[in-house]
Amino acid sequence: MKKTTMRLADGRELIYYDSRDDVVRDTVDRRPLDPVATAAEIRTDRLLGDHVAIASHRQARTYHPPADECPLCPSRGGRHSEIPAADYDVAVFENRFPSLAGDRGRCEVVCFTPDHDASFADLTEDQAALVLAAWTDRTAELSQLPGVEQVFCFENRGAEIGVTLGHPHGQIYAYPFVTPRTARMLASLAAHREATGRNLFDDVLDDERTDGRRIVLDGDHWTAFVPYAAHWPYEVHLYPKRRAPDLLALDDAARAEFPRLYLELLRRFDRIFDTGAGAPPTPYIAAWHQAPHRTAHRADFALHLELFTIRRTSGKLKFLAGSESGMNVFINDVPPEAAAERLREVASKP
């Protein structure tokens, strides 16, 4: 992998990740951009202890532009985008409309491919491996920024999820705090260790593999399963069999196997609902859970990816209504065992 770093016209950082070492990235961003001005602040909910980012400047962000005005496509034919080069493999840049900025964290955009009409599932294994390498490198870099406590790599796909740009891309948030979801995991991890002397993540993975009913994919180095108490209609967790706290700690074998298993998982998600040719692809969120880099029990945390869709059946979405939004109690209409069976049924043909 070759990494090339440059600055956009307004001073934001742009990083190219290329699979070939002989690629030269020296195209200058010639757009007449004003410096980025953000109004982001972080407030704390006094009752729940949650952090809330207030970012009013995001109201002006680009919203569903036509394909020929996409800011994530390469700059071609006299049209200038966020990526000055006429082509790229993987590109990462600071978000122009960040939720977190300055000493309050950082937000980056990850462009998986220059092909506007593709999706992550359309990537080759080599392309997916390059994205994994970019996620890993950005985790290493962002975790060293002053004040950053946790790095979160994720992808939102589909208008139903709220995506405002159709180009295949993800994001990375570098939070200046430990997120509430991770804090709850760490508390459960500590309580389980106190009660049993064992690691909670290891026990969850062992229990799922022993039960077997919710296993979707089982490779040499990764296991994908629908969790016993899945919140979402179709939700899969992907764990490396050798526990690692974050992407940097993955061993070479797990890193090599990941692209094949993850691409197969995404392709199965696209086949869940039998929506037919030309139908919108399955909307989903793919989220990497990594240990906060300054937590006391970092080595006990287990890196894993959570993939879920808000679609519960063809043409119907799972809405977060009163119980979910008001009290954070999820009600799942699809039994996890049935979801796992469906995801096994739609396996790619050899």
Q: Whole-angstrom Cα distance, residue 80 to residue 85?
A: 9
Burial 236-250 (b: 16+ CB within 10 A, else e): bbbbbbebbbbbbbb
Strand, helix or coil for residue 137: helix
Averaged pLDDT for residues 284-292: 98
**Percent of the chain residues topping a pLDDT of 90:** 87
In this predicted structure, what is the pLDDT of residue 280? 74
User: For position 224, what pLDDT does the model report?
Assistant: 98
* Cα gap 135→225, rounded to integer Å: 23
Does this chain's domain 2-175 share its CATH topology with 180-245+252-345? yes
pLDDT (average), residues 335-344: 98
223, pLDDT greater than 70: yes
pLDDT band (50, 70, 90) for residue 274: confident
Whole-number percent of the chain with pLDDT over 70: 99
Supply the pLDDT for residue 37: 80
Residue 237 confidence (pLDDT) above 90: yes
The SS3 of residue 223 is strand
Mean pLDDT, residues 301-319: 95
Which CATH number applies to 180-245+252-345?
A: 3.30.428.10
Q: Measured at the alpha carbon of residue 349, what is the angle toward residues 345 and 350, in degrees to the nearest 5?
A: 135
At 287 the pLDDT is 98
169 is catalytic: yes
Mean pLDDT of 146-164: 95
Residue 141: its H or E element: helix 125-142
Among 200-204, 219-223, 270-274, 334-338, the minimum mean pLDDT is found in 270-274
Cα angle at 163 between 160 and 167, to 5 degrees?
120
In sign, the C-alpha dihedral spanning 106, 112, 114, 120 is negative
Segments making up each domain of the chain, as ranges: 2-175, 180-245+252-345
**Exposure on the CB side of residue 159, measured as CA atoms within 13 A:** 6
Q: Please state which CATH class domain 2-175 belongs to.
A: alpha beta
Nearest to 231 by CA among 285, 150, 300: 285
Catalytic one of 169, 192, 289, 304: 169
Residue 66 in tokens: 């036509």
Residues in the chain: 350
Look at residue 277 and tell me whether its pLDDT is greater than 70: no
pLDDT tens-place string over residues 180-217? 999 999 999 999 999 999 999 999 999 999 999 999 99
| 33-75 tens-digit pLDDT | 988 888 789 999 999 999 999 988 887 777 789 989 999 999 9
